[in-house]
Amino acid sequence: MSTVRLAVKKLHEGATLPGYQTAGAAGMDIHACLPDAAVTLQPGAIAVIPTGLALAIPAGFEGQVRPRSGLSTKHGLSVPNAPGTIDSDYRGELRIALINHGKEAFTVTHGMRIVQLVIAPVVRASIELVADLDETARGVGGFGSTGRH
Protein backbone atom coordinates (compact mmCIF):
# COMPACT_ATOMS: atom_id res chain seq x y z
CA MET A 1 0.00 0.00 0.00
CA SER A 2 1.48 3.36 -0.98
CA THR A 3 1.09 6.62 0.89
CA VAL A 4 0.96 10.26 -0.10
CA ARG A 5 1.34 13.31 2.14
CA LEU A 6 -1.95 15.07 2.93
CA ALA A 7 -1.45 18.48 4.54
CA VAL A 8 -4.35 19.34 6.88
CA LYS A 9 -4.97 22.73 8.49
CA LYS A 10 -7.30 23.16 11.45
CA LEU A 11 -9.57 26.15 10.87
CA HIS A 12 -11.33 25.64 14.20
CA GLU A 13 -9.76 24.46 17.45
CA GLY A 14 -12.63 21.98 17.92
CA ALA A 15 -11.97 20.24 14.60
CA THR A 16 -10.94 16.59 14.58
CA LEU A 17 -8.17 15.40 12.29
CA PRO A 18 -9.15 12.72 9.75
CA GLY A 19 -8.10 9.18 10.55
CA TYR A 20 -8.09 5.64 9.26
CA GLN A 21 -9.91 3.27 11.62
CA THR A 22 -8.10 0.08 10.56
CA ALA A 23 -4.82 -0.81 8.87
CA GLY A 24 -6.64 -1.91 5.71
CA ALA A 25 -9.11 0.97 5.47
CA ALA A 26 -9.22 2.73 2.09
CA GLY A 27 -11.01 5.77 3.47
CA MET A 28 -10.29 8.01 6.42
CA ASP A 29 -13.15 9.19 8.60
CA ILE A 30 -14.10 12.86 8.47
CA HIS A 31 -15.77 14.41 11.50
CA ALA A 32 -18.40 17.13 11.84
CA CYS A 33 -17.25 20.38 13.47
CA LEU A 34 -20.39 21.69 15.15
CA PRO A 35 -19.28 22.97 18.57
CA ASP A 36 -22.12 25.48 18.88
CA ALA A 37 -25.15 23.53 17.71
CA ALA A 38 -26.07 20.15 16.29
CA VAL A 39 -27.78 19.95 12.89
CA THR A 40 -30.93 17.88 12.45
CA LEU A 41 -31.80 16.65 8.98
CA GLN A 42 -35.44 15.82 8.43
CA PRO A 43 -36.23 13.03 5.93
CA GLY A 44 -35.37 14.26 2.43
CA ALA A 45 -33.40 17.26 3.73
CA ILE A 46 -29.89 18.25 2.66
CA ALA A 47 -27.47 20.14 4.91
CA VAL A 48 -23.90 21.29 4.46
CA ILE A 49 -21.82 20.30 7.51
CA PRO A 50 -18.55 22.06 8.36
CA THR A 51 -15.47 20.04 9.30
CA GLY A 52 -13.27 22.90 10.53
CA LEU A 53 -10.49 21.62 8.24
CA ALA A 54 -8.77 22.69 5.03
CA LEU A 55 -6.74 20.25 2.95
CA ALA A 56 -3.87 20.46 0.49
CA ILE A 57 -4.42 17.41 -1.69
CA PRO A 58 -1.30 16.82 -3.80
CA ALA A 59 -1.37 17.56 -7.53
CA GLY A 60 -2.31 14.43 -9.47
CA PHE A 61 -4.76 13.31 -6.77
CA GLU A 62 -8.34 14.02 -5.71
CA GLY A 63 -10.33 13.54 -2.55
CA GLN A 64 -13.42 11.36 -2.94
CA VAL A 65 -16.09 11.97 -0.30
CA ARG A 66 -18.17 8.85 0.28
CA PRO A 67 -20.98 7.90 2.65
CA ARG A 68 -20.10 5.86 5.71
CA SER A 69 -21.69 2.44 5.33
CA GLY A 70 -23.07 2.30 8.88
CA LEU A 71 -24.79 5.69 8.67
CA SER A 72 -26.22 4.92 5.24
CA THR A 73 -27.55 1.45 6.03
CA LYS A 74 -28.85 2.20 9.53
CA HIS A 75 -30.12 5.76 9.04
CA GLY A 76 -30.25 6.51 5.29
CA LEU A 77 -27.61 9.25 5.59
CA SER A 78 -25.66 9.77 2.37
CA VAL A 79 -23.78 12.26 0.22
CA PRO A 80 -26.13 13.67 -2.47
CA ASN A 81 -23.37 13.87 -5.10
CA ALA A 82 -21.64 10.64 -4.04
CA PRO A 83 -18.84 10.41 -4.47
CA GLY A 84 -18.14 14.10 -4.05
CA THR A 85 -14.84 15.32 -5.47
CA ILE A 86 -12.33 17.62 -3.79
CA ASP A 87 -9.89 18.99 -6.36
CA SER A 88 -6.19 19.29 -5.58
CA ASP A 89 -6.24 23.08 -6.00
CA TYR A 90 -9.08 23.74 -3.49
CA ARG A 91 -7.90 25.28 -0.22
CA GLY A 92 -11.16 26.33 1.45
CA GLU A 93 -12.92 24.61 4.33
CA LEU A 94 -13.94 21.03 3.68
CA ARG A 95 -17.71 21.15 4.01
CA ILE A 96 -19.79 18.02 3.55
CA ALA A 97 -23.20 17.90 1.90
CA LEU A 98 -25.35 15.25 3.57
CA ILE A 99 -28.83 14.03 2.65
CA ASN A 100 -31.23 12.10 4.82
CA HIS A 101 -32.81 9.32 2.74
CA GLY A 102 -34.16 7.75 5.94
CA LYS A 103 -37.68 7.79 7.34
CA GLU A 104 -36.77 9.60 10.57
CA ALA A 105 -34.93 12.80 11.44
CA PHE A 106 -31.19 12.38 11.99
CA THR A 107 -29.07 14.66 14.18
CA VAL A 108 -25.43 15.34 13.33
CA THR A 109 -23.42 16.29 16.43
CA HIS A 110 -19.99 17.77 17.01
CA GLY A 111 -17.20 15.26 16.45
CA MET A 112 -19.45 12.68 14.77
CA ARG A 113 -17.83 10.67 11.97
CA ILE A 114 -19.98 11.63 8.98
CA VAL A 115 -18.20 10.49 5.78
CA GLN A 116 -15.11 8.78 4.46
CA LEU A 117 -12.43 10.50 2.42
CA VAL A 118 -10.46 8.46 -0.12
CA ILE A 119 -7.37 10.03 -1.72
CA ALA A 120 -7.15 8.71 -5.28
CA PRO A 121 -4.93 9.32 -8.30
CA VAL A 122 -6.35 11.32 -11.20
CA VAL A 123 -5.70 10.68 -14.87
CA ARG A 124 -6.58 13.51 -17.25
CA ALA A 125 -7.85 12.67 -20.73
CA SER A 126 -6.71 14.39 -23.89
CA ILE A 127 -9.80 15.03 -26.01
CA GLU A 128 -9.70 13.91 -29.63
CA LEU A 129 -12.61 14.61 -31.97
CA VAL A 130 -13.19 11.61 -34.28
CA ALA A 131 -15.67 10.80 -37.06
CA ASP A 132 -16.35 7.26 -35.79
CA LEU A 133 -15.83 5.21 -32.63
CA ASP A 134 -14.51 1.65 -32.51
CA GLU A 135 -17.15 -1.09 -32.43
CA THR A 136 -17.85 -3.19 -29.32
CA ALA A 137 -20.10 -6.17 -28.54
CA ARG A 138 -22.40 -3.88 -26.52
CA GLY A 139 -22.52 -1.14 -29.11
CA VAL A 140 -25.13 1.53 -28.35
CA GLY A 141 -27.03 -0.53 -25.75
CA GLY A 142 -28.05 1.75 -22.89
CA PHE A 143 -29.37 1.26 -19.38
CA GLY A 144 -30.09 -2.38 -18.59
CA SER A 145 -28.71 -3.64 -21.88
CA THR A 146 -26.03 -5.93 -20.38
CA GLY A 147 -28.24 -8.24 -18.34
CA ARG A 148 -31.71 -9.64 -17.81
CA HIS A 149 -32.17 -8.74 -14.13
Q: For residue 72, what is the domain's CATH number?
A: 2.70.40.10
Residue 94 lies in a domain: yes
Residue 145 lies in a domain: no
In the predicted model, is pLDDT for residue 84 greater than 90? yes
Residue 149 lies in a domain: no
Please indicate, yes or no, whether the overall pTM of this predicted structure exceeds 0.85: yes
Residue 127 lies in a domain: no
87-122 pLDDT, tens digit per residue, is: 999 999 999 999 999 999 999 999 999 999 999 999
Number of domains within the chain: 1
Between CA 102 and CA 106, with CA 103 as vertex, the angle to 5 degrees is 65
Strand partners, 115: 30, 67
Mean pLDDT of the 3-29 span:
97
Q: Which residues contact 65 (CB under 8 A, 6 or more apart)?
A: 30, 79, 82, 83, 84, 85, 86, 96, 115, 116, 117
Residue 89 lies in a domain: yes
What residues make up the domain containing 108? Answer: 7-121
